[in-house]
Chain A
């Protein structure tokens, strides 16, 4: 595997929130085109990993390094990481009253395009893109003119995250428990959005507590996080094993 196919390489990553050490040495490499699922019990550090990768304030990396397309990631501001193609679908999408979804999307898309040296899109071209992506997710076009997540149901918010991901076309999509709170139909729609975006040059890190999502977004690799470390890695069948056994056995089994 050559380096230019490597999207992200996480080496011995330690991170803490406040005084509390949460990640205790994560090692993970994701190549272009791969989907990696990260599973694990509550409190194992799944969301902290997403925060560390996206540069959320309050999550301090205390040791280790992360290379994104061969370059140091951790020194970059959150918006630069985003423009460079890292997208996080939030576990709890934030409401921003008075700002329409389409304004957010256009600002974001133009920031990304600007970063890539592409010209900004005019309103008409943009709207065309946004509408076609909304169609993929079976979202009403009216959702584009509503204020960002304001008054959205839980399912609408999650769908809206995926809409943003489809519009921004990241190189690395991180889904943080996108399946939580979704019914099966919504889950299928969300998975459809992700699968739509799967491409040889694009990678995903799918964080989930349950195996259910992985029935629809088939991962290439599954990693089990326990107490801030990757306790086990395997193929998609590992998720099924977890579903069957739960996470309890992890604590007894020595880390591999």
Chain B
């Protein structure tokens, strides 16, 4: 274990990886005429105007983007996270590409990279879902349009809005205007400002007063969701007494040529409302030597605005070369509850700096933080969390538990808990542990007939149990499989 991250040379701004991906695309046979729908790399006001125009956005949305852009220009990229990567050239990024039409997609699974399919197999992803995940033109494979339509009808009956962010801007401008940027302000941080200026698309969810959303809302059911990855923007509003559970991402590796991802997610929970937000992030982590991989800079924050409201974040982060992500809760309403359950795994040369902020403002607010970091190979895993209890947070309580599991002796685990308490009645508990996956544990399981690979999986899954049990059932099973796939070869 080293105490500082390994410095490595990652050819992020060089091109071999992109070339490789380009070749792969060619191999899969869907390099087509999409050039006219791409704009050249670089960012200035005209690009933002173009993005807005392509999406046919109203004037107010464009203004909002331009203000964000102006703010972003005055900001500098943060450097406090424990991650190393070569400088990002923001003028070398393409900020708009039209969504792929069905003609640009593979026509069937036969045209999809066999390696990708093999991984789906290992993850136990149902056959019909594999096609959609691999980006196969959906109509060609199964009738998911009708699935999605049935789904939408059901939700509409309850008054629940679940649509793409772009659609919400068109159809529900009053709701978007009312809540957009109220949890994560445009100038909140460098990456949030960039997202605010150039966001591509994302999800919008609105659950009306007193409605309990009867199903897990999953991005998977939103057609074309896969194309919105780079600068995703999501807004979820839960009105008084409502409940919604939202699943983001999926366990299958997503194909994506964009190296930089900067998403923003805002959640608003009013009186007695509850939002459960679960993420499985499995973007391309780079290869065994740390070449390539996604840089994931995400701002996620929920506001428990109402009394007795609750926001719960559960994340399983196994992908990306760099993860910079702190899903947080602002506990404004009295008796409101914030939760953060996280599993972050770094293998090979992955680096993750992730955690949460719990900001206690209201009386008797409560928060729970359970963070499980797993480092293997040369992976570096940092928990960074802040618990703030403001003056008015009478009787506030927090419980934090940060556990790290190390596999091998080349990886690192780091914990940075920040605590700031302004109210003397507040109560905090913090527990932390670091353990090494033990040869004696593995041998013990071997001696019961269990092979080493399975033994490691069992030990790791046992370590993550407290987080996995917060995930919706099917998701939890997939997450377990995902960990084992991600750790393949970590213990030889």
Whether, in the assembled complex, B438 has its beta carbon less than 8 Å from a beta carbon of chain A, the answer is yes
B372 nearest in chain A by CB position: A98
A: number of interface residues (CB 8 Å): 30
Whether, in the assembled complex, B450 has its beta carbon less than 8 Å from a beta carbon of chain A, the answer is yes
The answer to whether B441 touches A94, judged by C-beta atoms less than 8 angstroms apart, is: yes
Whether, in the assembled complex, B14 has its beta carbon less than 8 Å from a beta carbon of chain A, the answer is no
Q: How far is the CA of A57 from the CA of B454 in the complex (A)?
A: 18
User: What are 30 residue pairs bridging A and B, where the CB atoms are less than 8 Å apart in the complex?
Assistant: A57-B443, A77-B451, A78-B443, A78-B447, A79-B446, A79-B447, A79-B451, A82-B446, A87-B447, A88-B447, A90-B444, A90-B447, A96-B441, A96-B458, A96-B462, A97-B462, A99-B458, A99-B459, A104-B445, A104-B448, A104-B450, A105-B448, A107-B448, A107-B454, A107-B458, A108-B445, A111-B448, A111-B449, A111-B451, A168-B449
A residues less than 8 Å from B450 (CB atoms): 79, 104, 107-108, 111
Whether, in the assembled complex, B464 has its beta carbon less than 8 Å from a beta carbon of chain A, the answer is yes
Contact A168/B448 with A56-B443, A96-B441, A107-B458 known, Cβ cut-off 8 Å: yes
Contact A93/B447 with A98-B463, A99-B462 known, Cβ cut-off 8 Å: no
Whether, in the assembled complex, A164 has its beta carbon less than 8 Å from a beta carbon of chain B, the answer is yes
Question: Which of B445, B446, B447, B458 is most buried by chain A, counting CB atoms within 10 A of its CB?
Answer: B447
Q: Which of B416-474 contact A (CB under 8 A)?
A: 438-441, 443-452, 454, 458-459, 461-466
Whether, in the assembled complex, A115 has its beta carbon less than 8 Å from a beta carbon of chain B, the answer is yes
The answer to whether A96 touches B461, judged by C-beta atoms less than 8 angstroms apart, is: no
The answer to whether B440 touches A82, judged by C-beta atoms less than 8 angstroms apart, is: no
**Interface residues of B, Cβ cutoff 8 Å to A:** 438-441, 443-452, 454, 458-459, 461-466
Q: Which of A217-235 contact B (CB under 8 A)?
A: none
Q: How far is the CA of A88 from the CA of B449 in the complex (A)?
A: 11
The answer to whether A98 touches B440, judged by C-beta atoms less than 8 angstroms apart, is: no
Min CB distance B476 to A, Å, is: 13
Question: Which of A56, A93, A99, A108 is most buried by chain B, counting CB atoms within 10 A of its CB?
Answer: A99
The answer to whether B462 touches A83, judged by C-beta atoms less than 8 angstroms apart, is: no
Q: How far is the CA of A55 from the CA of B459 in the complex (A)?
A: 20
Whether, in the assembled complex, A54 has its beta carbon less than 8 Å from a beta carbon of chain B, the answer is yes
Q: How far is the CA of A105 from the CA of B450 in the complex (A)?
A: 10
B residues less than 8 Å from A108 (CB atoms): 445, 448-450
Q: How far is the CA of A227 from the CA of B466 in the complex (A)?
A: 48
**Interface residues of A, Cβ cutoff 8 Å to B:** 54-57, 77-79, 82-83, 87-88, 90, 93-94, 96-99, 103-105, 107-109, 111-112, 115, 147, 164, 168
Q: How far is the CA of A93 from the CA of B461 in the complex (A)?
A: 20
B residues less than 8 Å from A54 (CB atoms): 447
A90 nearest in chain B by CB position: B444
The answer to whether A79 touches B462, judged by C-beta atoms less than 8 angstroms apart, is: no
Q: How far is the CA of A111 from the CA of B446 in the complex (A)?
A: 10
The answer to whether A93 touches B444, judged by C-beta atoms less than 8 angstroms apart, is: yes
Min CB distance A75 to B, Å, is: 15
Q: How far is the CA of A213 from the CA of B445 in the complex (A)?
A: 26
Across the A-B interface, give the 7 residue pairs with the lowest CB-CB distance, nearest first. A98-B462, A111-B449, A108-B448, A98-B465, A99-B462, A78-B446, A94-B444
B residues less than 8 Å from A88 (CB atoms): 447
Q: How far is the CA of A80 from the CA of B156 in the complex (A)?
A: 57
B residues less than 8 Å from A82 (CB atoms): 446-449
A residues less than 8 Å from B441 (CB atoms): 94, 96
A residues less than 8 Å from B465 (CB atoms): 98
Q: How far is the CA of A233 from the CA of B443 in the complex (A)?
A: 31
Q: How far is the CA of A104 from the CA of B458 in the complex (A)?
A: 9
The answer to whether A147 touches B447, judged by C-beta atoms less than 8 angstroms apart, is: no
The answer to whether B458 touches A103, judged by C-beta atoms less than 8 angstroms apart, is: yes
Contact A147/B462 with A107-B450, A111-B450, A115-B449 known, Cβ cut-off 8 Å: yes
Contact A164/B462 with A56-B443, A57-B443, A107-B454 known, Cβ cut-off 8 Å: no
Contact of A96 among B446, B447, B449, B459 (CB under 8 A): B459
A residues less than 8 Å from B448 (CB atoms): 82, 104-105, 107-108, 111, 164, 168
Q: How far is the CA of A226 from the CA of B465 in the complex (A)?
A: 46
The answer to whether A98 touches B464, judged by C-beta atoms less than 8 angstroms apart, is: yes
Q: How far is the CA of A172 from the CA of B438 in the complex (A)?
A: 26
Contact A112/B459 with A78-B443, A94-B441, A107-B454 known, Cβ cut-off 8 Å: no
Min CB distance A169 to B, Å, is: 12
A164 nearest in chain B by CB position: B448
Contact A77/B444 with A96-B462, A97-B462, A103-B458 known, Cβ cut-off 8 Å: no
B residues less than 8 Å from A168 (CB atoms): 448-449
The answer to whether A98 touches B461, judged by C-beta atoms less than 8 angstroms apart, is: yes
The answer to whether A96 touches B444, judged by C-beta atoms less than 8 angstroms apart, is: yes
B residues less than 8 Å from A83 (CB atoms): 449
Question: Which of B446, B448, B461, B466 is most buried by chain A, counting CB atoms within 10 A of its CB?
Answer: B448
